[in-house]
Structure 1
Amino acid sequence: MKIPSLGLSRSLLKFLRRSTSAHNLLTQTWQHPEVGINQRPLTYCYVGKVCISNKTSRRHYSTSRLFISDATAGQILQYVDLDLDIDARLSDIEKLQANLDARKIQVSVEELVINRKRMLDIKKQKKDLELEREENAKQMAALVKEKKGHPEFSTLSRPLIERGKEVKEKLKSIMGQWWEVEEKVMLAALSLPNNLHPQTPNSSPEVLEEYFEERKITSALSHYEIMKKSNLVKFSNVGPRAYYTQEKLALLEQNLLRYFSRRLEVDGFVNWTCPEMFKPVVVEGSGMDFMNRNELFCLQQKSKSDVDAGDSSSSIDSMYFRGVSLASFSAYLTRSFIEESALPMRLFTVGKSYVPCTENNLPGLLGGVQSAKCCVLGICRSPEESWDMCNNIREKVISLIIPFKVPMRQVVIPASCLHSSEEYRMEVQIWVPSQEQFLMMGSVSMLSDYVSRRLMIRYGENPNHLNMSSPVHMVYGEVMDISRFIGCLVEYNELDVPHLEKDT
Structure 2
Amino acid sequence: MIEIARLRSAPEAIIQALRKKHFEAAPLVEQALAYDEERRHTQAELDTLRNQLNTLSRQIGEAMRQKDTSRAEALKTESLSCKNLISEKEKQLTDLEAKLEEILLRLPNPPHESVPPGSSSADNVVVHQGYTDPLPGAEGRLPHWEMAERLGIIDFTRGAKVTGTGFPFYVGAGAKLQRALIQFFLAEAEKAGYTEIEAPFLVNPTTAFGTGQLPDKDAQMYYIPLDELYLIPTAEVPLTNFYREEILEESQLPIKLCGYSPCFRREAGSYGKDVRGLNRLHQFDKVEIVQIVQPEVSYEVLETMRLYVQSLVEKLELPYRTVLLCGGDMSFASAKTYDVEVWSPAQERWLEVSSISNFETFQSYRMKLRYRKGKTPTYVHTLNGSALALPRIVAALLETHQTPTGRVRLPKALQPYYGQAWL
CA RMSD of aligned residues (A): 2.6
The answer on 1:228 being equivalent to 2:149 is: yes
- Partners of 2:218 and 2:78 in 1: how far apart? 54
Residues 155-166 of structure 1: pairs in structure 2 closer than 5 A: 156-157=71-72, 159-166=74-81
- Partners of 1:106 and 1:356 in 2: how far apart? 28
- My pick for the range that moved more, 102-111 or 349-358, is 102-111
Aligned to 1:80: none
Letter in 1 for 2:338: M
> How far apart are 1:218 and its partner, in Å?
2.9
Deviation sequence 1:93-146 (CA, Å, 0-9, x none): 111112332223465111111111111111111221222222222222211110
Aligned to 1:75: none
- Partners of 2:348 and 2:268 in 1: how far apart? 21
- Partners of 1:175 and 1:340 in 2: how far apart? 35
Structure 1 unpaired stretches of 5+: 1-82, 302-316
Letter in 2 for 1:372: D
> How far apart are 1:348 and its partner, in Å?
1.5
Secondary structure of 2:9's counterpart equals coil
Secondary structure of 1:366's counterpart equals coil
Change over 3 Å in CA distance of 1:130–1:322 after alignment to 2: same
Secondary structure of 2:134's counterpart equals helix
Change over 3 Å in CA distance of 1:218–1:171 after alignment to 2: same
The counterpart of 2:109, out of the listed 160, 174, 194, is: 194
The counterpart of 2:310, out of the listed 395, 398, 401, is: 398
Residues 375-414 of structure 1: pairs in structure 2 closer than 5 A: 375-383=288-296, 385-414=297-326
The counterpart of 1:498, out of the listed 400, 412, 416, is: 412
The answer on 1:373 being equivalent to 2:283 is: no
The answer on 1:137 being equivalent to 2:57 is: yes
The answer on 1:115 being equivalent to 2:35 is: yes
Aligned to 1:33: none
> How far apart are 1:425 and its partner, in Å?
0.6
> How far apart are 1:370 and its partner, in Å?
1.3
Q: Give every structure 1 segment of 4 or more consecutive aligned residues whose post-TM-superposition deviation is greater than 6 Å.
A: none
- Partners of 2:370 and 2:32 in 1: how far apart? 27
Change over 3 Å in CA distance of 1:369–1:420 after alignment to 2: same
Secondary structure of 1:198's counterpart equals coil
TM-score if structure 1 supplies the norm length? 0.72
Aligned to 2:44: 124
- My pick for the range that moved more, 225-234 or 418-427, is 225-234
Residues 460-471 of structure 1: pairs in structure 2 closer than 5 A: 460=372, 468-471=376-379
- Partners of 2:18 and 2:191 in 1: how far apart? 41
> How far apart are 1:288 and its partner, in Å?
0.9
Deviation sequence 1:377-419 (CA, Å, 0-9, x none): 1222233x21121111111111111233433211011223322
- Partners of 1:136 and 1:173 in 2: how far apart? 19
The answer on 1:210 being equivalent to 2:150 is: no
Aligned to 2:393: 485
Aligned to 2:267: 357
- Partners of 1:469 and 1:209 in 2: how far apart? 37
- My pick for the range that moved more, 388-397 or 229-238, is 229-238
TM-score if structure 2 supplies the norm length? 0.85
Question: 1:112 touches 1:185 (CA, 8 Å); kept in 2?
Answer: yes
- Partners of 2:216 and 2:223 in 1: how far apart? 9
Aligned to 2:213: 288
Deviation sequence 1:439-485 (CA, Å, 0-9, x none): 21112111223222322333348xxx9x7443322220111111221
Change over 3 Å in CA distance of 1:140–1:403 after alignment to 2: closer
Change over 3 Å in CA distance of 1:177–1:264 after alignment to 2: closer
- Partners of 1:90 and 1:435 in 2: how far apart? 49
Deviation sequence 1:200-241 (CA, Å, 0-9, x none): 123231111223241241367432233234422112112011
Question: 2:336 touches 2:357 (CA, 8 Å); kept in 1?
Answer: yes
Change over 3 Å in CA distance of 1:351–1:167 after alignment to 2: closer
Aligned to 1:66: none
The answer on 1:277 being equivalent to 2:185 is: no
Aligned to 2:258: 348
Secondary structure of 1:425's counterpart equals strand
- Partners of 1:365 and 1:500 in 2: how far apart? 20
Change over 3 Å in CA distance of 1:134–1:447 after alignment to 2: same
> How far apart are 1:258 and its partner, in Å?
2.1
Letter in 1 for 2:319: P
> How far apart are 1:280 and its partner, in Å?
0.5
- Partners of 2:411 and 2:285 in 1: how far apart? 16
Secondary structure of 1:367's counterpart equals coil
> How far apart are 1:495 and its partner, in Å?
4.3
**Aligned-pair identity (%):** 19
Question: 1:294 touches 1:355 (CA, 8 Å); kept in 2?
Answer: no
Question: 1:371 touches 1:483 (CA, 8 Å); kept in 2?
Answer: yes
Aligned to 1:11: none
- Partners of 1:172 and 1:339 in 2: how far apart? 37
Letter in 1 for 2:396: C
> How far apart are 1:199 and its partner, in Å?
1.7
Letter in 1 for 2:47: K
> How far apart are 1:337 and its partner, in Å?
4.3
Question: 2:205 touches 2:228 (CA, 8 Å); kept in 1?
Answer: yes
Structure 2 unpaired stretches of 5+: 403-407
How many residues are treated as equivalent by the alignment? 397
Change over 3 Å in CA distance of 1:355–1:185 after alignment to 2: same
